[in-house]
Structure 1
Amino acid sequence: MSKKPNFGAMGGMNMQQMMKQAKKMQDQMAQEQQNITSQEFVGKSAEDLVTATLTGDHRLKNLEIDQEAIDPDDPDMLQDLIIDAVNKGLRGIDEATQASLGKYTKGMI
């Protein structure tokens, strides 16, 4: 009579336990992603002349431009301020995502 290999046990955890743990982690990740998506992130340009509000799913929700930023003779300055504010808001989303979900992906890449 040959002895069957024990494929179900891996380090004391059977396949069913591993699948249950993976599902739990997947649910936690989805919940954390949902939390980020429901938040708003604000980016402000130099001197707070432009404020961009973004949702956690990378959508621009609001853009406020201070009157001082509007110079008809220098439209490039306003463009730069808008880009700066939006990029800072996007960076906030990325940082929150990394802080929240990075613990799950650490060492995977």
Structure 2
Amino acid sequence: MKDLMGMMKQAKAMQEKMQGLQAEIAEITAEGQSGGGVVTVTLKGQGELVSLSIDPSLLKAEEKDIVEDLVVAAHADAKKKLDTTIAEKTQELTAGLQLPGGMKLPF
């Protein structure tokens, strides 16, 4: 019974930490670039696009396809950085916990 109470306390503490982590993740931003910085995208923690910057030199009708590809590439770069930051923060939170293999946090 003592072990059960200890596990319940651990679960509650973990839940509180996860709530804090989720709030922290919501405030993280990541910036991605493509084309040597001519297109810049900024994402917030939940993947929300908060800004897009396109160098005026790209704004020519005949370069529409290039601009579209650069926006997609910048978004992918920002998403990769965001995912890496979230994974690092989650790893810090769960350090020392014995979680089942393959369990991903936050849920």
Tell me whether the two structures share a fold, i.e. TM-score over 0.5.
yes
Three-state SS of the structure 1 residue aligned to 2:32 is strand
Structure with a larger share of its residues in helix: 2
Aligned partner of 2:101 among 91, 95, 108? 108
Unmatched 5+ stretches in structure 2: 103-107
Count of residue pairs the alignment pairs up: 98
Normalization by structure 2: what TM-score?
0.80
- Matched residue type, 1:62: S
Query: How many percent of aligned residue pairs carry the same amino acid?
Result: 28
Cα offset, 1:107, TM superposition: 4.6
Residues 31-89 of structure 1: CA distance to partner in whole angstroms, max 9, x if unpaired? Answer: 12211111221111121011111111111111111012223112111011100111111
What's 2:9 paired with?
20
Aligned CA RMSD, in angstroms, stands at 1.8
Residue 107 to residue 15, structure 1, CA distance change in 2 (3 Å): closer
- Matched residue type, 1:67: P
Larger Rg: 1
Misfit runs of 4+, over 6 Å: none
Cα offset, 1:23, TM superposition: 1.2
- Matched residue type, 1:33: Q
